[in-house]
Amino acid sequence: MGPNVLDRPSTGGITFEEEMLGGFGGFPDSIFLINVGGDKYACNNVTPLGEEKPINGLACFPDPDEATSYMGLLAGLSGEIVQKSFEEAREIALSKPILNCLVLFVATRIVEIHWVR
């Protein structure tokens, strides 16, 4: 029998394998970030549904291919794809006062937000 798959209808048909998910909502235990130099990482400014003000989030990806796809969509964005634990990524976001959350991208779409403030 194959891996268990958790359907996520709210994400437009995207599925995660059960072993990818940790204890952090829809975020995997291990995620990938785009390091753009030093202690700087790719971020995204988004306006969640139902909100009036945009938020700033640390761009997170479940695998390196997703990070590569994201870089391909944004002209001028380049950097090193680095693997971090969810907790490490959360600490990075907390250390940047401008960031409100972690934003998980799958297929270049936001599928999960984890608020840090």
pLDDT digits 0-9 by tens, 55-90: 999 999 999 999 999 999 998 899 999 999 999 999
**16: buried, middle or exposed (CB in 10 Å: 19+, 13-18, 0-12)?**
buried
Considering the entire predicted model, what is its pTM? 0.78
Whether residue 33 contacts residue 91, with contact meaning beta carbons closer than 8 Å, is answered with: no
pLDDT digits (tens, 9 = 90+) for 11-50: 444 444 444 444 456 899 999 999 999 999 999 998 877 8
Cβ-proximal residues to 76 (8 Å cutoff; 6+ apart), any chain: none
Q: Where are the alpha helices (DSSP H) in 37-85?
A: 64-73
| Domain ranges, residue 87 | 5-115
Number of compact structural domains in the chain: 1
Cα 29 from Cα 44, distance rounded (Å): 21
DSSP codes, 23-45: EETTEESEEEEEEEETTEE-EEE
Rounded to 5°, the CA angle 60-65-70 comes to 55
